[in-house]
């Protein structure tokens, strides 16, 4: 399935659409600027889950910041629900570093996000309680972030991003700082939470497994300047936590295909930070196998 054409139906019903988006940043190099994103078309349906997969430095975070309305493109157009994106409670963002306020309790951290909404105290309390229930942290409402494990802190960050019931959820390598076990549990947690939500999710990772596990669609990005090199529909049945999805033939074939593509992208771009530093651990088997 291709997403080059703007889809007016998706736009009306609240999805995220990138139409031929490019952006450059000022840079001290002789060129004077660095092109971070080049001619990217993307579409996340109203309840779609799109994963951006690509090497470090290819513009993934930049694409999320564009979707959040934190920065504006030099060329092209981005719409969220048919309108230009603006930062605010309509968009939930989860970062790799949890970014919790250390002197606020779990409940206060989550309630903080409700600031811009016109809710009274009782409504705020109810929303926070419900959200902490969803992420399984009801018992920790009065704890401080330092008392929690990494996985629990990231669940607080997730609750904070979701408490405004945003139309759009932007997640930037949210589980990359977690240990493998916690990461797997958080992936299931996220799938479970998203199954009960009506939100468009744009999720960034450099993990092929994570991308396949979570996505409806995977958008593979090439090294700087970031551009789309391939789109893949993941048609594995949901809920994917109910069976051994990693053992599914489709999962295995897709992983093999994507790892090969990603590895080739990296190896043809020795300037990428991904080369050497992040290759280890992301790839399985012999790196020279299909190069």
Q: Which is nearer to ligand ADP, 156 or 169 (CB)?
A: 169
- The CB-of-130 to Mg ion minimum distance in angstroms stands at 31
Q: Which residue's CB is nearer to Mg ion, number 56 or number 79?
A: 56
**Order of all β-strands in the sheet with 217-222:** 91-94, 168-172, 200-205, 49-53, 217-222, 227-233
Instruction: Provide the strand spans (E) within the chain.
Output: 16-26, 33-44, 49-53, 75-80, 91-94, 168-172, 200-205, 217-222, 227-233
Interface map 32-61 toward ligand ADP (x if CB under 6 A): --x-x-------------------xxxxxx
Q: How far is the CB of 62 from ligand ADP (least distance, A)?
A: 3
Any contact of residue 222 with ligand ADP (CB under 6 A)? no
State the binding partner of 57 from Mg ion, ligand ADP, none, CB within 5 to 8 A by kind: ligand ADP
Binding residue count for ligand ADP, defined by CB under 6 A: 12
Q: What is the Rg, in whole angstroms, of the alpha carbon atoms belonging to the chain? A: 19
In contact, 66 and 18? CB cutoff 8 Å: yes
Residue placing its CB nearer to ligand ADP in the complex, 127 or 227: 227
Q: Does 135 bind ligand ADP (CB under 6 A)?
A: no
Peptide bond into 31 cis (omega under 30): no
- For Mg ion, the binding residues (CB under 5 A) are 61
Task: Give the per-residue contact string, 16-35, with ligand ADP (x = CB under 6 A; - = no).
Answer: ---------x-x------x-
Task: Fill in the per-residue mask, 58 to 77: x = in contact with ligand ADP (CB under 6 A), - = not in contact.
Answer: xxxxx---------------
Bridging pattern class, strands 75-80 and 16-26: antiparallel
Q: DSSP 3-state assignment of 169?
A: strand
Q: Rank residues 131 and 207 by Cβ distance to Mg ion and give the closer one.
A: 207
Nearest-approach distance from CB 129 to Mg ion, in angstroms: 33
79-90 burial, b at 16+ Cβ within 10 Å, e below that, comes to: bbbeeebeeeeb
Q: Which residue in 218, 195, 223, 200 sits closest to 208, CA to CA? A: 218
Residues in contact with ligand ADP by the rule CB under 6 A: 25, 27, 34, 36, 56-62, 224
């Amino acid at each position: 399935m291709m997403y080059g054409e703007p889809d007016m139906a998706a736009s009306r019903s609240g999805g995220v659409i990138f139409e031929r988006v490019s952006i450059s940043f000022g840079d001290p190099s002789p060129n004077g600027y660095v092109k971070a994103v080049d001619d990217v078309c993307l579409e996340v349906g109203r309840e779609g889950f799109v994963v951006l997969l690509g090497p470090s430095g290819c513009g993934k975070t930049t694409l999320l910041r564009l979707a959040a309305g934190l920065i504006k493109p030099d060329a092209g157009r981005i719409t969220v629900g048919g309108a230009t994106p603006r930062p605010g409670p309509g968009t939930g963002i989860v970062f790799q570093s949890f970014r919790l306020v250390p002197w606020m309790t779990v409940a206060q951290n989550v309630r903080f996000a409700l600031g811009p909404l016109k809710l009274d105290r009782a409504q705020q309390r109810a929303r926070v309680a419900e959200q902490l229930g969803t992420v399984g942290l009801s018992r920790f409402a009065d704890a401080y972030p330092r008392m929690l494990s990494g996985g629990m802190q990231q669940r607080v960050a997730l609750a904070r991003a979701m408490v405004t019931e945003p139309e759009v959820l932007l997640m930037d390598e949210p589980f990359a700082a977690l240990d493998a076990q916690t990461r797997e549990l958080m992936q299931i947690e996220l799938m479970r939470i998203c199954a009960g939500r009506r939100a468009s999710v744009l999720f960034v990772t450099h993990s092929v497994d994570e991308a396949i596990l979570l996505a409806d669609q995977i958008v593979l990005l090439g090294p700087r300047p970031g551009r789309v090199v391939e789109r893949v529909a993941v048609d594995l049945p949901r809920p994917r936590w109910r069976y051994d999805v990693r053992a599914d033939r489709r999962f295995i074939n897709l992983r093999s295909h994507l790892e090969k593509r990603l590895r080739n992208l990296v190896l043809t771009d020795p300037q990428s930070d991904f080369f050497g530093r992040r290759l280890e651990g992301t790839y399985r088997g012999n790196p020279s196998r299909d190069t």
